Amino acid sequence: MKLFFYEFYKLLRSKTVMAVCAIMLLLNLGLSLYSAGRVNKATVPKEILEPLYTEYWSSPEKVNERHEEWQKIQDEYAEKVNDAIKYGFDVDVEPPPPFLTETGIPSDYRIWDKLYSDVNRPKEYDDAMTEVINRALKTLAAYDVSGLSHESYAYQYQKQMADVYQKLRAEAYIGFENTRGWDLYFTSAAPVLFAMAAVVLCAGYLFVSEKSTSFYPIGHASAKGRAAHGTAKFFAGLLFVSLMTLLLLLVNGLAIGGTVGFGNIYNGIQSYKAFTYLPYNFSVLQYLICDTLIKLLAVALLYSLIQVASVLFSDMILSYLSGIAVVGVSYGVYAFTSHAPNRPIHQCNLITLGRTDEFLSRYRGFNLFGRAVNTTHFVIAVAGILTLLAAVGAILLFSRGCFGIWNLHLAEKLGRLRTRLASGKKRRNRAYASSLFAYEGYKLYLNRATLLLVPTLLVGALILSDILYKGEESYTEEKRREYIEAHLYGEISEEKERFIEEEGERIYGTIEKHKEMSKAYARDEITIEEFFAYMQEYDYAQSRKEAYEQLREYSDYLNETSEKTGVKCWYVVESGWETLLFSGADLFLMIYLIYSACRIWKSERGAQSSRGAFMQILLTTEKGRRKTARSKFALAMGNTLIAFLVSTGIRVYFIDTRIGLAGWRAPLISLRSFAGVSPGFTVAGYLCLYFLVQLILFCVLSAFVFSAALAFRNTAAVFVVSAVLLFLPALFVGLGVELAKYIDVTALIRFSGLFTAHRWYGILLLPLFVPALYLWFNRRIEKGDLIA
Amino acid sequence: MKLCIERVSKSYGSNKALKEFSASFEPGIYAFLGPNGAGKSTLMNIITDNLKADGGQITFDAGDGKEENARRMGLRFRKRLGYMPQYPGLYPDFTVERFLWYMAALKGMSKGQAKEQIPEILKAVELDDVPRRRIGALSGGMKQRLGLAQAVLGDPDILILDEPTAGLDPKQRIAIRNFISKISFNKIVLIATHVVSDIEFIAKDVIILKKGVVEDNAPPAQLLRKIEGKVWFLPCEEQEVQNRQKQFRVTNIGREEESGKALLRILSEEKPDGTVRTAPPTLEDYYLYIFGDVESRK
């Protein structure tokens, strides 16, 4: 036990491990606040809902009566709009005043919709279950008719599914309440992905540190230096990563709880639509425990596999690459099979296991030697066994002296290969570059830290983009996009106006005729076929009504703006452009820029002269002062440009393929977020300005950190201080501290928010960067005072 | 060609590392001897303009009779300089060969010059068998030799070497000593070292530094003359050794082959009692004569 505590203490004392964990926690907090904030904006505030729910709880009839009254007002309004369109009156019929709130925000429709979706949830759940059960029973009946064996996989699978959902239909508890928060918490992928990233970055440290500190031979020769030492090490690390995972989940929970809030923990998990087909009768609390345990299992599995690799390789880079390979392959398979979530390959996957919500979302089985096996149970069992085997393997390999055996093996193989390649060839004297810039580039990119960090940040950026730019949209949004893409895209025109009017007539006309048609059908004045045909049209109209209203608003905006400015606006899908133009403060890019600007000086400033700093030699050479400083500065700028292009490329690619970026020739005022800007701007023109401003700001940021790393000897401290200065105000803004926005560099980098609001307080930050530019142009660099 | 140091001083807080140091150097090897903290590395750093002196100046005459302030010469002075610090921090991710090419670029050498010189220097410092090895994977001795290689690259007029043989085995130490001796023709070579044997036979002048002040500055032979007749061999019984150590400054304890007695090499102004004989003085004796040793008391 003592050994265990010492090993745990070692981990806590490791600056690298703690720095990685702190970064992961910060990133997780930022992302959780961002996601929760977005959901919160789309959620009806609980202050509005709570009185309504309380009222419904005490007297539902009264609330139902009010709802009917509201529905009547809406029908009358629809009728008036339709008349107006039909008879060519002024289309701007005065809408009815808000019914439930004073301001009309959020709309009455949304409030009623939320209430009745919770009210109707038990029935909705029952219907969904009945549908699944009936389908399974029908399939079983068909199997019986066709004479399929009851022992066959297909029969067993359908039978198990019918049994599971029949039991759930009878037993699942769905209480009436304002359901909120938990669905977002359980579907958040970020905490477990950050936990995995932390494990990939740090897990190798445990065993590899034995080699780097040269303690291994001493420990190995002591009485408890083998199995006991290895076991203590392994479990100390396991406890550490488990605590880290729990902390990440807690941070996510706090962020969601603080913004959206949580529903009752004792309510059935099936109260949330996302868990309709969950094959277990769990309360939210039970599901929370199960979710946490499975996430811990996924992290433990990854941790154990990396431990085996770290013992075999005894090399941080190779351990890290093993972790990257496991997570990368898993994520790749997960992403490529996400269109078919029921496939075993998608389910038997580390990422699916870690995400839990998909893994547990419904009953799934697969064919194992002719038997239908529950996929969930099977994957959990396999993951548990693998974790155990890997744990035993790592400890045994460590205690049996196999530490670094693969590394030696690899080195030997590589050595032989090199000899074979070199044999028979006369070695020629090789000439290298004579440009200082090239050598500075070599120093920056080809070192262990950069080789370790860059792939991590790249994978992180890809995963984050995958999460952020999902392209998931509401039904209304989907229909609105359909209208624009199929009928309206491009410049406004009379023909398009006509289409909008005709579509309005169709929708409102159909809705208005509802009572009339129902009565006609009841009186047998129309046939059932006619009525069904009408109902199909009615469904169409109802489903598009909200989208049409939004489209109408957009159309009015475009016409009005065109008239006012004399510039012909375009119909474009705004969401893609808005996502692109209001983002851009890429966390990974900023971390990389701070790192690289510090790293550029690391070799020279990283050590005291008494411990061997190259700066002493550098300063005595012809080009070691100003020319080297200039090469380094040019590299910092070039590196910023490359990193910016890569980051922007990833962002543009994801947004373009997932959400869409059509209409770059459109005037910028076609996007409502940019209503107040000069009409001369096109989207493409603004895009150039936006990217240029961002690039300049990133260059200034790099220059600032670069100069700080030059002026102060401790590059690690410069890295930490720069990161804190950069991210802390943004974090405070996220937590609601308004004052922090005045010093929020990330808001300045996002640019569009300040541009459209004509708020230029971000400019106040720019003078901070002036000393940075002064510093390196200063003649003192040549004299050596500044560097030495 | 002449390098003059005039009344150069340097303090770190209240600690005076160098007190009005003056010396002038013409082509040849000059050795700086002194214990840790004597001010050798501080002086080297000031000459190479890695450190700013509190007072005094360094002038350089390139042979045209025009003396110029080295600090003001800046680039022109550094073009003539090769420097190997006490702990040369080399980039661990560079290979040996790439590092020397980088140094060639820093020294403003042309590709042709670099291509010609680098293989020769690698051979001279016995690193020609590992040109593609990462510096991080080199042994301490190899790194030390690479540090020397970068200093001599570009054929500098002034070569400043701070502890160039630290961490080398005897064979390498001799090879490096011979190499320095060979390239020192028409160069000012300043070597700071603790290892007296490194410079005993190659130094033109030895400058003894003690607490930032020049204790002595003369050719080795002249220094040795100062302790002629003060170095003795004293045979004694083994049980007497401790007493003798208290009495005299003992520089070595050996064994007489014939009698099997202990044979002490001692430093003493006067002839010690007993059967003693004089010993030929070495520079190490002179070093101990100046700085003493911790165990013996005269």
Question: For the segment A233-248, what is each residue's pLDDT rounded down to a tens digit?
Answer: 899 999 999 999 999 9
pLDDT of residue A87: 66
pLDDT of residue A5: 86
Which residues make Cβ contacts (< 8 Å) with residue A2, sequence separation at least 6? Answer: none
pLDDT of residue B5: 93
At residue A475 the predicted structure's pLDDT band, cuts being 50, 70 and 90, is confident
Whether the predicted pLDDT of A610 surpasses 60:
no
- The span from the CA of A234 to the CA of B44, in Å, is 50
* Residue B116 CA to its chain's centroid (Å): 28
- The span from the CA of B183 to the CA of B165, in Å, is 16
Question: Which residue in B50, B81, B91 is closest to A788 by CB distance?
Answer: B50
Chain A interface, best mutation among B40, B75, B157, by max A CB count within 10 A: B75
Chain A closest-CA separation from residue B110 CA (Å)? 8
Which residues make Cβ contacts (< 8 Å) with residue B128, sequence separation at least 6? Answer: B119, B122
Whether the predicted pLDDT of A782 surpasses 50:
no
Question: A 392-451 residues with CB below 8 A of B?
Answer: 429-436, 439, 442-443, 446-448
Say which amino acid occupies B172: Q
Whether the predicted pLDDT of A549 surpasses 60:
yes
Structure tokens at A160: 């198990």
Which residues make Cβ contacts (< 8 Å) with residue A548, sequence separation at least 6? Answer: A483, A503, A504, A507
Mean per-residue pLDDT, A510-518: 84
Using an 8 Å CB-CB cutoff, list chain A residues near B48.
616, 619-620
Beta-bridged to residue B4, according to DSSP, are B24, B59
pLDDT of residue A761: 62
At residue B26 the predicted structure's pLDDT band, cuts being 50, 70 and 90, is very high
Question: Which residue in A447, A623, A784 is closest to B106 by CB distance?
Answer: A623
- The span from the CA of A753 to the CA of A745, in Å, is 12
At residue A608 the predicted structure's pLDDT band, cuts being 50, 70 and 90, is low
Q: Which residue has the higher pLDDT, A178 or A340?
A: A178
pLDDT of residue B297: 41
pLDDT of residue A397: 86
Mean per-residue pLDDT, A366-392: 91
Q: pLDDT by residue (tens digit) across A151-198?
A: 888 999 999 999 999 999 999 999 888 888 999 999 888 899 889 988
Chain A closest-CA separation from residue B32 CA (Å)? 18
Chain B closest-CA separation from residue A608 CA (Å)? 10
Q: With pLDDT > 90 as the criterion, what percentage of chain B qualifies?
A: 29
Q: Which residue has the higher pLDDT, A464 or B151?
A: B151
Q: Where are the beta strands (DSSP E) in B27-157?
A: 28-33, 55-61, 67-69, 81-84
Q: If we measure between CA atoms, which residue out of A771, A764, A783 comes closest to residue A707?
A: A771
- Partner-chain contact A620 B45, CB within 8 Å: no
Is residue B97 within 8 A of residue A432, CB to CB? The reply is: yes
Using an 8 Å CB-CB cutoff, list chain A residues near B83.
616-617, 620
pLDDT of residue A778: 53
Helices A284-313 + A405-422 axis angle, to 10: 50
Q: With pLDDT > 70 as the criterion, what percentage of chain B qualifies?
A: 98
Q: pLDDT by residue (tens digit) across A316-328?
A: 777 888 888 888 8
Q: For the complex shown, is ipTM > 0.85?
A: no
Which residues make Cβ contacts (< 8 Å) with residue A597, sequence separation at least 6? Answer: A636, A702, A703, A704, A705, A706, A709, A722
Weakest-pLDDT range from A414-423, A567-576, A740-749, B132-141: A414-423
pLDDT of residue A44: 82
Q: With pLDDT > 90 as the criterion, what percentage of chain A qualifies?
A: 27
Whether the predicted pLDDT of B226 surpasses 80:
yes
Question: Which residue in B85, B108, B115 is closest to A622 by CB distance?
Answer: B108
Weakest-pLDDT range from A20-24, A712-716, B63-67: A712-716
- Partner-chain contact A623 B101, CB within 8 Å: no
Is residue B196 within 8 A of residue B287, CB to CB? The reply is: yes
At residue A570 the predicted structure's pLDDT band, cuts being 50, 70 and 90, is very high
Q: With pLDDT > 70 as the criterion, what percentage of chain A qualifies?
A: 89
- Partner-chain contact A622 B79, CB within 8 Å: yes
pLDDT of residue A407: 64
pLDDT of residue A451: 80
* Residue B7 CA to its chain's centroid (Å): 21
Provide the number of CB pairs (under 8 Å) joining chain A to chain B: 113
Q: pLDDT by residue (tens digit) across B260-298?
A: 888 889 988 888 887 888 888 988 888 888 887 534 443
Weakest-pLDDT range from A267-281, A592-606, B173-187: A592-606
Structure tokens at A268: 């059935």
- Partner-chain contact B91 A603, CB within 8 Å: yes
Structure tokens at A520: 């006609």
Q: Do the bridges between strand B205-210 and strand B28-33 make them parallel or antiparallel, or are there none, so unpaired?
A: parallel
pLDDT of residue B48: 87
Q: pLDDT by residue (tens digit) across B99-133?
A: 999 999 888 889 899 999 999 999 988 898 888 88
Whether the predicted pLDDT of B240 surpasses 70:
yes
Q: pLDDT by residue (tens digit) across A39-77?
A: 877 778 888 888 888 888 888 899 999 989 988 888 888
Using an 8 Å CB-CB cutoff, list chain B residues near A788.
50-52
Record the pTM: 0.68
Chain B interface, best mutation among A317, A440, A446, A617, by max B CB count within 10 A: A617
pLDDT of residue B294: 39
Chain B closest-CA separation from residue A590 CA (Å)? 25
Structure tokens at A261: 């809030």
Q: Which residue has the higher pLDDT, A385 or A324?
A: A385
Which residue carries 């076929």 as its tokens? A529
- Partner-chain contact B97 A616, CB within 8 Å: no
DSSP character for A767? Answer: G
Output the average pLDDT for chain A: 84
Chain B closest-CA separation from residue A408 CA (Å)? 15
Whether the predicted pLDDT of B206 surpasses 80:
yes
At residue A737 the predicted structure's pLDDT band, cuts being 50, 70 and 90, is confident
Q: pLDDT by residue (tens digit) across A429-460?
A: 677 877 889 999 998 888 777 887 888 788 88
pLDDT of residue A409: 66
Which residues make Cβ contacts (< 8 Å) with residue A649, sequence separation at least 6? Answer: none
CA angle A724, A730, A734 (to 5 degrees): 130
Chain B closest-CA separation from residue A629 CA (Å)? 12
Whether the predicted pLDDT of A563 surpasses 80:
yes
- Partner-chain contact B105 A782, CB within 8 Å: no
